[in-house]
Structure 1
Amino acid sequence: MATLFGFGSPKEETKDAADVEDPTSATTTSPTSPQTEDETPLTESAEAEVGAQTSCMHFMVKSKLGWIAWKEMEATLYSIFERAFGATRCEMKFSESLEDFGFEVEVPTSEVEKFQKFFKGKALAQEIDMLHGIDPTVTSRRDAKLANLKKTMGSTLQESDVRSSIEVLTSRFKALEQVGMNRDREVSAIQDQFAYLQRTMLQRFDDVTSRFQSKMEDAVWKKMQGVEKEIRDSVQEDLAVLNMNPMDKKVESAKEAASSIKPTAADDSLREHAEAADRELATVTAERDTARQQLETAEGQLKDANGHITRLTAETSKMKELEEAYAALTAQLGAVSADVADLRTQREYLRTQLAEAEAERDTLRTQMAERAAAPTVSTQGDKVEDPVKVEAQSPGTDTPNPVPEETEPASLSEFIRENPNQSKPKEEPEADDPWRESQ
C-alpha cells in the first residue's frame, strides 16, 4: 500500500483488496477519537535506599477547595507519594491564585517513569480527591487537576560520598519527624472532630426523640382516645335509633349499621396528624442514618491515621538505631586517632634516642682521633712509640704483643654492634592497645 506521499514498495502496491483494512471495522481506531485515561490503581513501592540518586518532580494542581484543606492534609498527601513512589521529600507551594497549588516531590530516579505514567492517568488524582473526602464511587466530579509536570535534579549526591549519604539520612530523618508531628496534629484534629460530631449527633438525636415522644405520641394518643369516644357515641346513637341492644349477639345487623356510618371530620384530622407524624419519623430516621455513615467514615479515617502513626514510629526507631551505630563508629574512630597519637609519640622518642646515640658516636670518634694524634717518647732512645702498643707488650719478653689497630666504625650499625649497652634504648612497658582489644 502506498504511503501518504504516493510512493511505496511494489509488493505493497500488488496486495489484494482483502488485505486492506476496512475503515468501517470496529477494530480500527481513529486518530481523532478521544483517548481513555489509564485507570490502573496505585501500587506501593520499596523504600528508597540511603544515597540513591533522586529526581525532583514539579507540577501544579488546580483545586476548588480552600488552601486550609490542603494545608491540613499535607502530611497525609506526603504519605501517598512516599508509599506509591518512595518519595523522600514533598513540599507544597502557594501561588497568586487561590485555586493553583505548586508541588515539589523528590523521588528516586528509578521511580520517575512510574510517576509520569500515573501522573497522566486517573489513579493519582483520584487518590488526592479521596484524601479530601471526594469518593469517585459516589460522585463523578473531579476536583484535583494535575498539569505542568517538570523534572529536575535531586538533592542526593553520589553513593560513594559517605558524607552526603549521612547528611541526606539526617535530613530525611528530620523530614520524617516533621511529618510525624504533622500527622499527630492531624490525628488529634480528627479525634476532636469525631468527638464533636458524635456528641452533636447524639445530642440532636436525643432531642428529636424526646420531642417526638413528648409531642407527637402524646398528641396522637389523646386524639385517638377522642376519636374512639366519638365513634362509640355515634354507634350507640345509631343503635338506639334502630332499637338494637349493643350487647346483643346480632353481629350481622351491627356490621350493616356500622358500614352505613359516614366518616366524620375527626377521621380526616386524625389521618393528617398520622401522616405528619410519619413524615417527621422518616426525617429523623434519615438523619440518624446520615449520622451513622459519618461516624463510620470518621472511624475509618482514624484507623488509617493510627496505621500511619505505627509505620512512622517504626521508621523513627530505625533512624535511632542508625544514629547509635554512627555514634559507635565515631567512638572507634576516636580510639584509632588516640592510637595514632601514641605511635607518633613513640616515634619522636625513638628519634631522640637516635640523636643521642649519634652524638655519643661523634664523641667517641673525637676521643679516638685525639688519642691517635698524641705519641709518647721512649727513654732508651729517640724512637717514638704508641702508648697503646707499649702497654700491650708482655712483662717477661721484649717482643710486644700484637695489638689490633683501632678503626672507626664504618656505620652506625657497626657502632651499635660494638657498643650494645650504650646504644640500646630503655625498654618501656607496652601500653594497652585499645585497637587490638577491639579487634
Structure 2
Amino acid sequence: MTSAAARIALDLTADLPVPALEDFYRDLHRHPELSLREHRTAAALAERLRKAGYDTTEGVGGTGVVGVLRNGDGPTVLLRADMDALPVAERTGLPYASVTDGVMHACGHDLHVTWLTGAAEALAAGRDAWSGTLVLVGQPAEETGEGAARMVADGLHERFPRPGVLLAQHAAPGPAGLYAHSPGLIMSASTDIDIVVHGRGGHGSRPEATVDPVVTAAYIVTRLQTVVSREVAARDSAVLTVGRIEAGTRHNIIPSEARISLNLRTQSPQVRERMIAAVRRVAAGECAAAGCPAEPGITVGSDFPVTVNDADTERRTAAVHGEVFGAGTILDPGPAMGSEDFPRLAAGGIPYSYWFVTSTPADVWNTAPGGDDLMTRLAAVPSNHSPHFAPDLCTLAPGVRTLVSGALAFLSVGG
C-alpha cells in the first residue's frame, strides 16, 4: 500500500512547471559564482521563495538564504541546497554554458538550487495537504567546506525554527533515474595538507652549491604513494591525492623552496590521524635525507567531516522514494570517497538523510564503454568537477519529487 506521503507527493508534483524550471536552471548555469560570492544565485533563490510565500532572509552566514513556511502544528523539516560553483573552465559545448571565464557549475549545485526552488513552490501550493514547518536553506561555500559552519555560527538554528530532521541530495554520475541511499556512512572525511620544502637556491649550472627542493619534493610525492598501500589496513578505505606541486621561476634557477598540496580521504578518525602522521614523517625524512637547511613546513588545512546518515531517517526517506519512483530505482552503493560539509548543519545531533540522484544523459551513458560493468562505465562518463559535467534536464522533475516526498515523509500528512 502506498503511503499518504507518497500519494500526496505525486499529486503535488503532477503538474510541475518544467519549462520554467528549465529556464531557471539554464540561467543559474550561465552565471556561476564561486564560494561566498553567490550573490546573484542567492538573490534568484530568495525571490522565488518570497513569491511562493516563504518568510525569507538573505545574508545568513555570508550569502546564505533561509526560507521559512509555517503551516500549523507539526514537525519542522529542513531542506538544503548548496549554491556555489567551481574554478573550472567549462567545455560542455552547451548553448547555456557559463559566461563567466574560468568558473563553472561543474558539480551540479545549479541543479540543486533548481530542485529546491521547485520543491518549495510545490509544497507551498499544496499546503492544505500537510502541516508543520519547512525551513529551506540555500547554502554557500560547500566546495570550500565553510558554508554550513558559517550558517550555523550565524544562528541558523536559533534565528529560525530548529528542525527535527535535515534532508539533502546531490547530482551524481550514473544512468538518470536512480536514487542512491545508504543508511550510515555515505560520504568520507576530507583533509587538506600543505607542505613547504626549504632548499638552498642557486644557479642551475652549479647544483653542488645548492639543496634542490624540487628533487626533494619529487621524492616526497613518490614516497607518499605508499602511505595508503603500506600503512592503511586493506579493510579501511582511504585515498591520498597530490593535487599541486609548485616550484621555481626559470629553467636555469634552482629555487629555494617547493610547495606541495595534497588531500586525504578517510572514513574513520583513526585512519585520518595515522595518515597525517605518515605525511609528516615522510616529508621530514626526505628533507633530512636531502640535507635541507630547515625542516619542512606542514600545515593541516581545511577539512570536511564524514557524512553518516541516521539509519531510521534514511530508511524512511528511501522507502518513500521507492514508493514514488519504484523499488527498482533505489540502490545502496555503499560509502563514497567524496566529501560534504552538510553534516555541520546537524549541529547538536539533528538526524539527517543525504542521498544521490543519478543524472548522466541516456545517450552519454549508453555509448560509454564497459558493457554491463557499472564501475567501468562510471569511470568513462563525465563526473562531478569535470569540465564536461552536464546533468540531464530530465532529472529536474524527479529531483523536485524526491525533496517533496522526502519532506512529506516527516511532516504531518493526512491518511
Task: Give the number of the structure whose alpha-carbon radius of gyration is greater.
Answer: 1
Of Structure 1 and Structure 2, the greater helix share is in 1
Please give the range of the TM-score, normalised by the shorter of the 2 chains: under 0.3
Q: TM-score, normalised by structure 1?
A: 0.20
